[in-house]
Chains A and B, each alone.
Chain A
């Protein structure tokens, strides 16, 4: 059962004037172009030859010789120092599972804090929010010892579970859930629905936009984490892509072309993911139930 906000035909009732939308278009073009330049630069640099860059005095806008050599070298299967495909696989598993678990757990918690009544609810929430803003840097050693106790060191599970302790996403979802009218939930309960059903059948579907957003944030956060994986994992080939490529920096130092290749390899999966999830994403945001308080 979906909740539809009563809306008039909003695009027409208050259409931005054509002039306004063209000015916006123009400004956006400029902004986006500026934002794109670094990206373009990195990708195109990965096709350059390092030796040529140095000979040209260190700066070359377009490649003198276009080459795929950098990619071949870094992506080669026999490259035991940089097993990129393995890392990629690890990242997918770790980030994928982590995200699914996170969305479920955060949504459950957010629902309780937003819609369920229990003693100390708001105090508890404020407390965990306050606690969670503590910088996590000194958590790492005790956390490492805990991983040790559980026997999770050097295993992917160490990368999946500890991060589920976050709180900010719960805050976000909770805000969103406030917008769901209590009446709907109540009538479902009166009809005999158990709380889980109310949660799963009514609340979750109506939170799609925020769940998708949280899912994306969580996925990319997990994907891009390199500090924790490099500490918790010993075997080079159990690293995630980001942590592994961080290693690669040590291999290639200041060699511009190879470094840009590494950066590009790190970026491309994200771009592809984004292209695929864009549809859900855009649909989610455009459902007119915004992020309200």
Chain B
């Protein structure tokens, strides 16, 4: 009985405390970010950012993973320079952000001042009228087009307006286990680039020793990279999807061939983990996975994604971009501050490079430490970075996701799969208007 009474008392206390807290958090307003438990001791909130002289900037990003701490470090460095507006970094899971940001913009409540979006999202958001045109603001700000990777910059030019300032480019490249390469590689990388034929050439030897020649993960971007190398697009007119064509078939037939020959991992195995365990010779993966490799102590290097033709490289790439959501509460002065913040990040991107990204601002190229990073070579690539900005990219890749694994492991023919994917994309476009 006594214990019960104690529990009841405890619960009642907690109830009161939290009601107090709920009450106090009502004081939050547009500019300042208050912690919810402001008198409950060590409220380890996302940085208790004291608003700057003039207020604070709400910065939403998708960096909930390990990237998050890297971005936080940069934001902290910025706040340490005592700017007029301090920056409040909020990391939100990507899918949630793409749900909440538009909802916020529409309702006008809690709209972020600046946000990170993947480049593929921008065309649709722009079309829906959610984003500000940077051309109205960058005139007298430190932001200059020539400071940035031209590819990443120009892809947010839509109808004469400019809607994204690139933070980075991140590509899906090729990891090579150099120890295994010595044994099975046959000098394929002497010319700095690996072709599919060279991969096949190493196949039998690897197979005989139980080594996976090439690991296949994240089929979507692998398909898109190879497809782009052949000149394929998701939609030739930018509206109607038509990626069920010969180029796509060529890519997918190659895949089924590799599977039939037994040069890829078994269906159901996890290629990246196997690679880290030293059982895979070549494994395409994102450059942002480099830290895994370091931790596993593997002797590996990064190269461009495999090609059909050594003269035509192509790495699937995406880009994180700063966007300006339409927000009435952000006045001209604050917008200016936002741009200064963006510029600061551009000039201080080393931390971001350490997270495995390739910063889009050219300043990084002069940083010695960066040049030694395995992904540095991508900073000079331009045409090789295949960035997709098809308006309906989202629909297309979601429908591809459903069929690519099946095609790879022979459960569905490439023709059927592509047809289904295109149909699905078309239907969703029609209904999503």
B44 engages A86 (CB within 8 Å): yes
B293 to chain A, nearest CB (A): 10
B277 engages A247 (CB within 8 Å): no
Residues of B within 8 A of A237 (CB): 44-46
Interface residues of B (CB under 8 A from A): 11, 14-15, 18, 21-22, 25-26, 36, 44-47, 64-66, 68-69, 72, 90-93, 96, 99-100, 103, 107, 109-110, 270, 272-274, 276-279, 292, 295-297
A100 to B8, CA, bound (A): 10
Q: A148-B107, A250-B93 are in contact. Are A96 and B295 (CB under 8 A)?
A: no
Residues of B within 8 A of A56 (CB): 277
A231 engages B109 (CB within 8 Å): no
A229 to chain B, nearest CB (A): 11
Q: List 28 A-B contacts (CB under 8 A).
A: A50-B295, A51-B295, A51-B296, A54-B273, A55-B276, A56-B277, A58-B277, A77-B44, A80-B44, A80-B47, A80-B68, A86-B44, A93-B14, A96-B15, A97-B11, A144-B103, A148-B103, A155-B22, A156-B18, A157-B22, A230-B93, A234-B100, A236-B91, A236-B92, A238-B36, A251-B66, A254-B273, A256-B273
A238 to B43, CA, bound (A): 11
Residues of A within 8 A of B21 (CB): 156
A156 engages B297 (CB within 8 Å): no
Q: A56-B277, A155-B22, A237-B45 are in contact. Are A251 and B14 (CB under 8 A)?
A: no
Q: A81-B65, A81-B69, A144-B103 are in contact. Are A235 and B90 (CB under 8 A)?
A: yes
Q: Does A38 contact B (CB under 8 A)?
A: no
Q: A81-B65, A81-B68 are in contact. Are A151 and B26 (CB under 8 A)?
A: yes
A194 to B278, CA, bound (A): 76
B277 engages A54 (CB within 8 Å): yes
Residues of A within 8 A of B297 (CB): 51
Residues of A within 8 A of B91 (CB): 81, 236
Q: Does A57 contact B (CB under 8 A)?
A: yes
A80 engages B15 (CB within 8 Å): no
B270 engages A80 (CB within 8 Å): no
A55 engages B277 (CB within 8 Å): yes
Closest 6 CB pairs of A and B: A54-B277, A54-B276, A251-B65, A81-B68, A93-B18, A51-B296
- Not counting A57-B279, A156-B21, a sample of 20 additional A-B residue pairs whose C-beta atoms are within 8 angstroms of each other reads A51-B276, A53-B273, A54-B274, A55-B278, A55-B296, A56-B277, A57-B277, A80-B44, A85-B44, A97-B14, A97-B18, A230-B96, A234-B92, A235-B90, A236-B91, A237-B46, A250-B64, A251-B65, A254-B273, A255-B273
Q: Does A92 contact B (CB under 8 A)?
A: yes
Q: Does A153 contact B (CB under 8 A)?
A: yes
Residues of B within 8 A of A54 (CB): 273-274, 276-278, 296
Q: Does A83 contact B (CB under 8 A)?
A: yes
B274 engages A96 (CB within 8 Å): no
B22 engages A96 (CB within 8 Å): no
B46 engages A235 (CB within 8 Å): yes
A242 to chain B, nearest CB (A): 14
A251 to B278, CA, bound (A): 22
A254 engages B272 (CB within 8 Å): yes
A172 to chain B, nearest CB (A): 22
Looking at the complex, which one of A83, A144, A250 makes contact with B44 (CB distance below 8 Å)?
A83
A247 to B18, CA, bound (A): 24
B11 engages A156 (CB within 8 Å): no
B277 engages A231 (CB within 8 Å): no
A234 to B109, CA, bound (A): 13
B11 engages A96 (CB within 8 Å): yes
B12 to chain A, nearest CB (A): 9
Interface centre among B272, B273, B295 (most CB of A within 10 A): B273
Closest to A153 in B: B110
Q: Which residues 41-88 of A sit at the B interface, judged by CB distance below 8 A?
A: 50-51, 53-58, 77, 80-81, 83, 85-86
Residues of B within 8 A of A80 (CB): 44, 46-47, 68-69, 72
A254 to B274, CA, bound (A): 11
A96 to B36, CA, bound (A): 18
B46 engages A148 (CB within 8 Å): no
A134 to chain B, nearest CB (A): 22
A97 engages B15 (CB within 8 Å): yes
